[in-house]
Structure 1
Amino acid sequence: MRGFVDGQKNKGKCRSTTKNTNRGGGFQLLKWTGIQNNFFSKAWVHVSEDRIKSNNQQLDIFWDSVLDAFHDFCQQDGEQVERSVSSLKNHWLNMNRVCKVYGTCLKNVMQGPKMVCNKEI
């Protein structure tokens, strides 16, 4: 499975994206940590700015590359995380939406006191 280093038992912290709640056999999604957000953003930029592939990547290959880079950054830091492409895509959509709202609010504030930001996230 991606995100796990072969032959390195008990090294780093292992986190899965889900955990069994033992209440009816259901699963609960684990929240993203600040360091995971940092590594995810770093991975997205790293893959996006690849000079060889540039923007000539198919979308599924792009996200597979982001996932691989994300797991690599986590492993370099000693944290082993099990995430999927779909969890990265969903998290990116949420982050992107929030960043757009923040950007709009910041733009309105910078334009002067007449503009007020009242958008809800």
Structure 2
Amino acid sequence: MKGTPRSKKKTTAPTAHRLARLAAERAIERKAKDVVILDLRSLSPATDYFVIASGTTEVQVRAIADAVIDGCEGLDVRINHIEGYQARRWVLLDCIDVVVHVFLEEVRDFYSLERLWGDASLEKVEG
């Protein structure tokens, strides 16, 4: 009807846990291995969740990171900072409440974030 204000469709940002799940799911779509979500809410004021995933090659690490980036863009989630994208050994995607770490397997083994954050509850995500 002409002259009647239309309500604009509002898109709501996903909760931090939902964003972590979506990032994990996007990683799994690219055949990431050992995908986990660490709940850091009671341990760190810097972020709520880590999503950690592994790739077997540098090409796969970049493909996983790209899939997560595309998923964030599709939800209008701003990625505050990206680190390691060119090197493709450890790509970090900082979405403030969720930080995604995509590792080459041997790099993940070396840094062992799950052990470093051993007090965090760990959720395994499988495809």
TM-score by length of 2: 0.36
TM-score (norm 1): 0.37
Higher helix share: 1
Using CA pairs below 8 Å that are at least 6 residues apart, which structure has the higher relative contact order? 1
